[in-house]
Structure 1
Amino acid sequence: MRGITKRFPGVLADDDVHFEVAPGEIHALMGENGAGKSILMSMLAGVYQPDEGEILIRGEKQHFASPLDAIDAGIGMVFQSFKLFPSLTIAENVVFRSEPTKRGLIDRREANRLVSEIADRYGLALDPAARVDSVPVGVLQRVEIVKALYREAKVLILDEPTAVLTPQETERLFDVLRALKADGRTIILITHKLNEVMAISDRVTVLRDGRNVAQLVTADSSPAEITRHMTGRDVDLTTPPPAQEPGDTVLEVRDLTVSGDGGRDSVADAALAVRAGEVVGIAGVAGNGQVELAEAIIGMRPVMTGSVSVSGVDLSRASIAARRDGGIAYVPEDRHAVGSAGTADAIDNLALGHHRSAPIMRRGLLSRSAMTEHAKRLITRFGVKIASPTTPVGTLSGGNLQKVVVARELDYRSPVLVVEQPTRGVDIGAIESIHRELCEYRDAGGALLLISAELSEIMSLSGRILVMFEGRIVAEVPRAEADEALLGLYMAGHEPEERHRPAGAAVRVSGAQNGDAQ
Structure 2
Amino acid sequence: MTQPIQDPNRDPVSYSIQLAKINKHFGAVKANVDVDLNVVKGEIHAIVGENGAGKSTLMSILYGFYEADSGSIYVDGKVVSITDSKRAIELGIGMVHQHFMLVDNFTVLENIVLGAEGSWSLTHSLAKARKKLQEISDRYGLNVDLDAVVSHLPVGLQQRVEILKALYRDAKILILDEPTGVLTPQEVDQLFAILKTLKSQGVSILLITHKLQEVIAISDQVSVMRAGAMVATVNTAETTREALAELMVGRKVLLRVDKQEANSGAALLKVDSLTWHDDANVPRLEDVSFTVSAGEIVGVAGVSGNGQTELLGLLSGMLDVQQGQINIEGVCIDAQHQMTPKQIRHLGVGHVAEDRHRDGMVGAFSAEETAIMGFQDEPEFNGSILQNRSAITEHCQELMSTFDVRPVDPNLKSASFSGGNQQKLCIAREMNATPKVLLVGQPTRGVDIGAIEFIHQQIVALRDQGSAVLVVSVELEEILSLCDRVLVMSEGRIVGNVLASETDARSLGLMMSSSRSGDQMAQQGGQS
TM-score by length of 1: 0.89
Deviation at 1:285, TM superposition (A): 2.2
- Cα deviations across residues 386-433 of structure 1 (Å, max 9, x unaligned)? 696555544655445444433433334322222222223433222211
- Matched with 2:22 is 4
**Once the two structures are aligned, what percentage of the paired residues are identical?**
44
Matched-pair contact (CA < 8 Å) for 1:26–1:201: yes
Matched-pair contact (CA < 8 Å) for 2:257–2:453: no
- Cα deviations across residues 32-64 of structure 1 (Å, max 9, x unaligned)? 222222222222222222233232222333343
Deviation at 1:492, TM superposition (A): 1.5
CA distance change for structure 1 residues 378 and 109 in 2, over 3 Å: closer, same or farther?
farther
Amino acid of the structure 2 residue aligned with 1:474: V
Matched-pair contact (CA < 8 Å) for 2:397–2:408: no
- Matched with 2:12 is none
Matched-pair contact (CA < 8 Å) for 1:379–1:404: yes
CA distance change for structure 1 residues 395 and 133 in 2, over 3 Å: closer, same or farther?
farther
Q: How does 1:191-340 map to 2 (within 5 A)?
A: 191-242=209-260, 245-260=263-278, 262-316=280-334, 317-340=338-361
Unaligned runs of 5+ in 2: 1-18
Structure 1 segments, 4+ long, off by >6 Å, are: none
Matched-pair contact (CA < 8 Å) for 1:351–1:371: yes
- Matched with 1:38 is 56
CA distance change for structure 1 residues 125 and 427 in 2, over 3 Å: closer, same or farther?
farther
Q: How does 1:339-354 map to 2 (within 5 A)?
A: 339-354=360-375
CA distance change for structure 1 residues 207 and 109 in 2, over 3 Å: closer, same or farther?
same
- Matched with 1:511 is none
Matched-pair contact (CA < 8 Å) for 2:108–2:147: yes
How many angstroms apart in 1 are the aligned matches of 2:477 and 2:523? 22
Deviation at 1:202, TM superposition (A): 0.8
Say if 2:463 is the partner of 1:447.
Answer: no
Amino acid of the structure 1 residue aligned with 2:508: L
Aligned residue pair count: 504
How many angstroms apart in 2 are the aligned matches of 1:394 and 1:95? 39
Amino acid of the structure 2 residue aligned with 1:27: H
Q: How does 1:103-502 map to 2 (within 5 A)?
A: 103=121, 107-242=125-260, 245-260=263-278, 262-316=280-334, 317-384=338-405, 392-394=413-415, 398-493=419-514, 494-497=518-521, 500=524, 502=526
SS in 2 for 1:467: strand
Deviation at 1:67, TM superposition (A): 2.7
- Matched with 1:86 is 104
How many angstroms apart in 2 are the aligned matches of 1:150 and 1:393? 43
Matched-pair contact (CA < 8 Å) for 1:208–1:230: yes
- Matched with 2:7 is none
SS in 1 for 2:39: coil
Matched-pair contact (CA < 8 Å) for 2:264–2:293: yes
Amino acid of the structure 2 residue aligned with 1:127: D
SS in 2 for 1:423: coil
CA RMSD of aligned residues (A): 2.7
How many angstroms apart in 1 are the aligned matches of 2:393 and 2:20? 41
TM-score by length of 2: 0.87
How many angstroms apart in 2 are the aligned matches of 1:283 and 1:22? 37
Amino acid of the structure 2 residue aligned with 1:18: D
- Matched with 1:507 is none
Deviation at 1:441, TM superposition (A): 1.5
Deviation at 1:2, TM superposition (A): 2.1
SS in 1 for 2:358: coil
SS in 1 for 2:286: strand
CA distance change for structure 1 residues 406 and 42 in 2, over 3 Å: closer, same or farther?
farther
Unaligned runs of 5+ in 1: 505-518
How many angstroms apart in 2 are the aligned matches of 1:106 and 1:398? 48
How many angstroms apart in 1 are the aligned matches of 2:325 and 2:331? 10
How many angstroms apart in 2 are the aligned matches of 1:389 and 1:6? 30
Amino acid of the structure 2 residue aligned with 1:213: V
Deviation at 1:121, TM superposition (A): 2.8
CA distance change for structure 1 residues 243 and 453 in 2, over 3 Å: closer, same or farther?
same
Q: Which one has a bigger Cα radius of gyration?
A: 2
Q: How does 1:11-30 map to 2 (within 5 A)?
A: 11-30=29-48
SS in 2 for 1:500: coil
Deviation at 1:11, TM superposition (A): 2.7
How many angstroms apart in 1 are the aligned matches of 2:366 and 2:90? 39
Deviation at 1:71, TM superposition (A): 2.6
Deviation at 1:91, TM superposition (A): 2.1
SS in 2 for 1:291: helix
CA distance change for structure 1 residues 274 and 23 in 2, over 3 Å: closer, same or farther?
same
How many angstroms apart in 2 are the aligned matches of 1:249 and 1:301? 23
Amino acid of the structure 1 residue aligned with 2:282: R
CA distance change for structure 1 residues 221 and 292 in 2, over 3 Å: closer, same or farther?
same
Amino acid of the structure 1 residue aligned with 2:38: E
